[in-house]
Amino acid sequence: MHSTIRIIPLKLIPHSDRTAILAAYSRELGRVSFAVNSGAGAAAARRRALLMPLNPLEVVSSARPGRDLLTMREPRALMPLHQIISSPERSAVVLFIAEVLERVLRQSEPEPLLFDFIIDAISRLNSPLTPPANFHLCFMIRLAEMLGIAPDPFDFRPGMVFDMADGIFRLSAPLHGRNLSAADSAIAASILRMTWQNQAAFRLDRNARNQILEKILDYYSLHLTDLSTLRSPSILHSLFA
């Protein structure tokens, strides 16, 4: 059975000399995996370019009975990512987002609103009007809302501490000890108010940005899946002075 679906490539994994496995997220099917031809030559190079992380595609897919892997043909890019491709900073953000999504989007059920959110984020990052420095932080904050794990920053009052395990602000530190200091909790309450529209107003130096990202990844690791072994944050740490 053939069907046309929209996908967001997440990771291309070499499988053999002739094939690779593409992990992707689709609007119609949720998390999917495709068997794709790898090989060499100009055609293979064009195919790899199309399958770059977060390059939205429309493909004709087919499922084979008894197999988990789909096949694809007629891949077509849905938006040109000129700004992302030409910018090392934006490309690094893409690699980070793709690596995070590959870890956290393990469910197979389709979630069209989540797919649309990711497409909107890619479009924003691809705009020359969007500064990239805080984009990865804003994406993680907004993604937490989509995944149902976002804390409510408006519960914060001066002196409260943020309970990382329960995802709430408390008047005193919890017994389990997984909490931010009062000073860091105040910063968290401010950062959690970051939106696509106001992200550029957050003046953060490299050290502050890296520390905030580390805490966000710790929070995701507590509530979803371990993100401590991601490779891409080390690239982001060297950018955006």
Residue among 148, 115, 130, 116 nearest 30 (CA): 115
- For 67, the token pair is 């197999």
What CATH class is the domain 1-78? mainly beta
pLDDT the model gives residue 19: 86
Q: Using one digit for the tens of pLDDT, what is the confidence trace for 26-77?
A: 999 999 999 988 766 777 678 788 999 999 999 999 865 556 789 888 899 9
Residue 191's contacts (CB-CB under 8 Å, 6 or more residues apart) are: 137, 141, 202, 212
Q: For the chain, what percent of residues have pLDDT higher than 90?
A: 79
Q: Residue 11 has what pLDDT?
A: 96
The C-alpha atoms of residue 140 and residue 135 are separated, in whole angstroms, by 9
Distance CA 185, CA 178 (A): 12
Task: Say if strands 30-37 and 161-163 run parallel, antiparallel, or are unpaired.
Answer: unpaired
Please give the C-alpha separations between residue 94 and each of 50, 99, 139, 177, 229, in angstroms, as whole numbers.
14, 8, 11, 34, 17
Per-residue confidence (pLDDT) for residue 226, from 0 to 100: 95
- For residues 118-142, one letter each, b for 16 or more C-beta atoms within 10 angstroms of the residue's C-beta and e for the rest, the string is bbebbeebbeeebebbbbbbbbbbb
- Using 50, 70 and 90 to split pLDDT, how confident is the model at 86? very high
Given a contact cutoff of 8 angstroms between Cβ atoms, the answer to whether 100 and 141 are in contact is no
The stretch 226-236 carries a mean pLDDT of: 92
Q: Which helix (H) or strand (E) holds 216?
A: helix 206-223
Using the predicted structure, report yes or no on whether residue 144 has a pLDDT greater than 90: yes
Query: pLDDT value at position 16?
Result: 79
What is the structure's pLDDT at 48?
A: 80
pLDDT band at 199 (very low <50, low <70, confident <90, very high): very high
Quote the CA–CA distance of 83 and 91 in Å, as a whole number. Answer: 9
User: Could you tell me the residue ranges of all domains in the chain?
Assistant: 1-78, 80-150+192-241
The token duo for 215 is: 């805490």
pLDDT at 103: 97
Indicate the pTM of the whole model: 0.93
